[in-house]
Amino acid sequence: MRDLPPLRALVTFRAVMETGSFARAAEVLNITPSAVSHQVRMLEQSLKRPLFVRRNRAVYPTQAALGYQAVISESFDRIASASRMVGSERSETRFMIHCAPSFATSFLMPRLPTFIARFSELDVTLSSGIGEVRLGPEGFQVDIQHMTTPPDDCESVDLAVESYVPLASPSFCASHAPLAPHDVTRVPLIHSLRCPVDWKQWIRHHGEGLPPTRGMQFDRSYLAIAAAADGLGLALESTLLAGDLIDSGRLVLPFGPRGLTAHAHRLVYRRSERADTHIRAFTEWIMDAVSASQWASVNDC
């Protein structure tokens, strides 16, 4: 304990680093700017090195301050995570999940009841959307992302190698029979705008000619899959997301498992929370759920 700087000084230092100035840190902490300056000087004396360069009434962090901030921020996050876990033992335990919209709709939601039943002590919150979200003690515990790069302070787990194959309803196939791979240039196509592969790539590997630019376009995979199930066209989409509709017979693979593969979805969480019991439990559960699907990967093309 004798080697630890004063906790108040550490909190003040972190506030200065996050806000970028002594004045804004003072507002966040509800203290005076002079008190902020005093706490920072106390920390510098404890560490025996300057943390800020003061120039023209502004402060600039030194290289030592930048490195120190990275380390203590992770420590503060761990303390907050541990406190939340301990506190939740005598109150509610809320598990916050953020998920890409199509994965949430097509895969996660139909299976989520099994997770809730297995971990009945958890109150689950599920939100979906695109873009960055806040992870950690003040945000979501996990985020299932689609085709994004995880933040530097996070760890990620690829959920599956997904296969992207042509999908259609039985009625669509019947009305366009006989249907062969080279026929995709003459039938109505459904374009899934966020799909990691497109019709041009598929035809280059498995068909002939050039894909028509006309056709329905959807910016969500689950909408493109639903349109195909309704007989509106031939879609190129993930068999993992469409697996339940394939199993029910509403969708078929007219050309079999002729497709392309990609790592599209990954589970992301803060590195500082890797030991969190509930994050580890959810990670194991979702990986088991994906592995149990015969549609996680249907080819190696």
pLDDT tens column, 104-134: 999 999 999 999 999 988 899 999 988 778 8
| Nearest alpha carbon to residue 190 among 223, 230, 217 | 217
Q: What is the mean pLDDT of residues 132-161?
A: 89
Cα–Cα distance, 16 to 9 (Å, whole number): 11
Neighbours of 214 (CB within 10 A): 9
Q: Residue 90: its pLDDT value, please?
A: 44
Identify the residue with better confidence: 265 or 73: 265
Identify the residue with better confidence: 243 or 150: 243
Cα–Cα distance, 205 to 105 (Å, whole number): 30
Q: Residue 259: its pLDDT value, please?
A: 87
| 2 three-class SS | coil
- Helix, strand, coil shares of the chain, percent, nearest 5, are 45, 20, 35
Identify the residue with better confidence: 56 or 217: 217
Q: What is the mean pLDDT of residues 28-49?
A: 90
Residue 85 Cα distances to 12, 89, 112, 200, 275, angstroms: 25, 7, 22, 49, 12
The 8 Å CB, 24+ separation contacts for 58-65 are 58/21, 59/16, 59/21, 59/22, 61/17, 65/13, 65/17
pTM for this entry = 0.68
Percentage of the chain with pLDDT > 70?
A: 92
Percentage of the chain with pLDDT > 90?
A: 50
- Architecture per CATH, domain 7-86, reads as Orthogonal Bundle (1.10)
Q: Residue 139: its pLDDT value, please?
A: 85
Identify the residue with better confidence: 162 or 56: 162
Q: Residue 71: its pLDDT value, please?
A: 83
137: left (phi over 0), alpha (psi -120 to 50) or beta: alpha
Q: Residue 301: its pLDDT value, please?
A: 43
Q: What is the mean pLDDT of residues 219-241?
A: 95
Q: Residue 138: its pLDDT value, please?
A: 77
Q: Residue 215: its pLDDT value, please?
A: 84
